[in-house]
A and B are shown apart, each in its own frame.
Chain A
Amino acid sequence: MSYQAEISRDNPTCFLFVIDQSGSMDEITEAGRSKANFVADVLNKTLYTLVTSCSKSDGVRNYFDVGVLAYGGADVTSGFGGVLSDGIVHPIHAISEHTLRVEERKKKVDDGAGGIIELTTKFPIWFDPKSAGGTPMRAALNKTKETVAEWCEAHPGSYPPTILHVTDGQSTDGAPEEMAEGLRQISTKDGPVLLFNLHVTTAGGGEKVFPTTESDLGDDYSRMLFRMSSPLPAHLAKFASDKGYAIAEGSRGFIFNGDPQCVVDFFEIGTRPKLVADR
C-alpha cells in the first residue's frame, strides 16, 4: 500500500515547489495584488509553516527536504536566493537558517480567555515575486524530474516527493505532458511521486477543483493539466474533504482557474504529511 511510510529524521520526505514566474504572473488579481505577489506570499507562509512544524526548543528537526524551482523567460533556476541558490533541494534546517530577510508583523490573537491580544511576530521571507518573459514549463518539469530522481535514489524507503506546480499560462517551450508523465513514474518503495498542478487566474468563476474526469474541463489545455496530475492519496483526499471540497474516488490534485483561497488551500493540502513519526 502506497503513501504509508512514516516521516522521520531518518526517513524524511521532500516537497518541491515549481513556480511559474513568466510575464503574465504580473496580472493584478481582484484583491489588488499581482498573481506573482500573491503566490510568493503563500509560498513564504507555507515554508514558514513547514519549518515551524519541525521546530522544537532544541532546534529544527529534518523531517523534510524542501526545494523551489522557478521558471520564466529562458531560465529554470532555484527559487531561493543567497546560500540556498546553489542547490535545488535543502534540508528544512538549512531553509530555516537562510532567509532573505525576517520582517516583523503584528497579528491579533485570541488569548484563550475571551480577549484579543496583539503580538509582534517575526516573519521570514525566502521568495520574492518575479514575473518576466515566456513560460518554459517543459524545461522546468524536466529539471524537476532530474531533481526528484536523484532524491528518490538517495531516499528509497521514504514517503515519495510531492511536487506542487503553480502556473497561470500555457507552456512556451513545447508540450510538458511527456515530462509530467516521466516525473510521475519515478517512485520510492512507498509509492510514485505526487505531482499536483494549480492553474491560477485573475478572473473569477469557472474554477475546477480536484476533478475526477477530464470530460468536465472545457479545453485541451486544462485537460492536459488534469492528465498531468496525480490522484489524491486517501489521506490528502480526506483532508481536502474536511476543508469543504467535493472529493470523489479518482479526484486529482489539480485546480483550474483557482482563486486566492484555492491557492492557499492547494499549498496547505499538498504539504500535509501523512504521518510524522514520534507524535
Chain B
Amino acid sequence: MRPEARSDVHAKPRLPLAFSIAKADDKHNEDRFHRSTKGVYALSDGASVSFDSASWARILVRRYAHNPDFNRAWLSAAIAEFARLYDRESLPWMKQASFDKGSFASLLGVRVIDGGRLIQVLSIGDSIAVLCDGDRIKATFPISAPSEFTRSPQLLCTNPVQNAFLDKADVGFDLVADWTFRGLEQPALLCMTDALGHWLLSQRDQDPSPISVLRKVRTANAFARFVREERAAGRMKRDDTTLIALW
C-alpha cells in the first residue's frame, strides 16, 4: 500500500472543536477565534496591556476567515476598520495616548485545502499550529521549543509603525508553513495560543503524551477543567487560553 492510500484525508472539511478560557474568572478574555466548515480557521491572542486588543483580535480573525490572503493591503484594511471603532479626537488624553500607541494581537490562520491535501498555515506572533499523527507531533509552527516563548513576540498592531517588522519578512515564506495530511495514519491539526503552546511543547516527552491528553477534551467544560488543573499544578501559564482542534 502506498503511503497516500493510508492517509485520512476527508472529502469534506469538518468543523473543528474550539474552546477558549480567560486567564481568570473575573477577567475579560482577549483571545478570539473563528472556525468554519469551509476549512478556514483562525485565532488571535490580544495583548492585554494594549488599548483594545480584543476588538483588534476579533477583526483579525473575522477578516482572515473572509479573505485568508494576508498582505500589507489586507493589514491596512484591518487597521482602518479598527480606527473606525473610535473617535480619536474625543477620547480623553490617556485613552488617546493608548489608542495612538496601538493595540497588539497575534494571528494564526489555517486553510485546509482539498480535505487536507494541502494545509496552509500563517502565523504572526506566538500562537502555534501543530500537525499530529496519532499522539505524535509531526510539526509545529512557528515555534518548536518552549524556550522560544520567553522572547517578546512580534505582533500585529493597529499603529502601522509597529508593523515595520513585516517589511523585513517575506510574507509568503517566513510567516507561512505548508503541511499535508497525506501519508498520516491518524492526522490531526491543532491551533493554540501561547500558554497552551508552551504547555504542549514542555510536555511533549511526557507519558501520557500531551496530544493524547488534549484528544480527550471534547467539551468546553472539560477544557476549562483541564486548563485549571494544569494552571494549579504550575504547568501552564495563567493567561487567556484557546484551542482549535481538528481531530
Contacts and interface: CB of A to CB of B under 8 A. Distances in A.
A121 interface: yes
Contacts of B97: 48, 51-52, 55, 121-122
Contact of A56 (B52, B79, B161): B52
Interface in A110-164: 110-113, 119, 121-124
Contacts of B50: 56
Given A52-B98, A55-B97, A278 B160 contact: no
A55 to B, nearest CB: 4
A109 B161 contact: yes
Given A112-B163, A279-B239, A102 B93 contact: yes
A89 B228 CA distance: 36
B100 A119 contact: yes
A273 B37 CA distance: 44
B129 to A, nearest CB: 20
Contact of A113 (B27, B76, B240): B76
Contact of A278 (B51, B95, B164, B239): B239
Interface residues of A, number: 27
Interface residues of B, number: 30
Contacts of A63: 49
Interface in A167-196: none
Contacts of B96: 121-122
Contacts of B76: 112-113
B161 A110 contact: yes
A102 to B, nearest CB: 5
A115 B86 CA distance: 22
Contacts of A51: 94, 97
Given A52-B98, A112-B160, A278 B93 contact: no
A52 B160 CA distance: 18
Residue in A54, A55, A63, A119 whose Cβ sees the most chain B Cβ within 10 Å: A55
B239 A112 contact: no
A264 interface: no
A55 B96 CA distance: 9
A11 interface: no
A121 B100 CA distance: 9
Interface string B27-71: 100000000000000000001111110010000000000000000
B182 interface: no
B136 interface: no
A57 interface: yes
Interface string A260-279: 00000000000000001111
Contacts of A123: 93
A278 B100 contact: no
B101 interface: yes
A122 B93 CA distance: 5
A53 interface: yes
Nearest to B153: A279
A78 interface: no
Given A112-B160, A279-B47, A57 B239 contact: no
A57 B49 contact: no
B23 interface: yes
B231 to A, nearest CB: 13
Contacts of A110: 160-161
Contacts of B161: 109-110, 112
A195 B41 CA distance: 50
A58 to B, nearest CB: 8
B154 interface: no
B209 interface: no
A57 B93 contact: no
Contact of B48 (A99, A109, A279): A279
A48 B92 CA distance: 13
Interface in B81-101: 86, 92-101
A101 to B, nearest CB: 11
A96 B96 CA distance: 12
Interface string B162-174: 0110000000000
Interface in A55-111: 55-57, 60, 63, 96, 99, 102, 109-111
Interface of A: 48, 51-57, 60, 63, 96, 99, 102, 109-113, 119, 121-124, 276-279
28 contacts: A51-B97, A52-B94, A52-B97, A52-B101, A53-B49, A55-B97, A56-B51, A56-B98, A57-B51, A57-B55, A57-B95, A57-B98, A60-B94, A63-B49, A99-B93, A102-B93, A110-B161, A111-B160, A112-B159, A112-B160, A113-B76, A113-B160, A119-B100, A123-B93, A278-B48, A278-B49, A278-B238, A279-B239
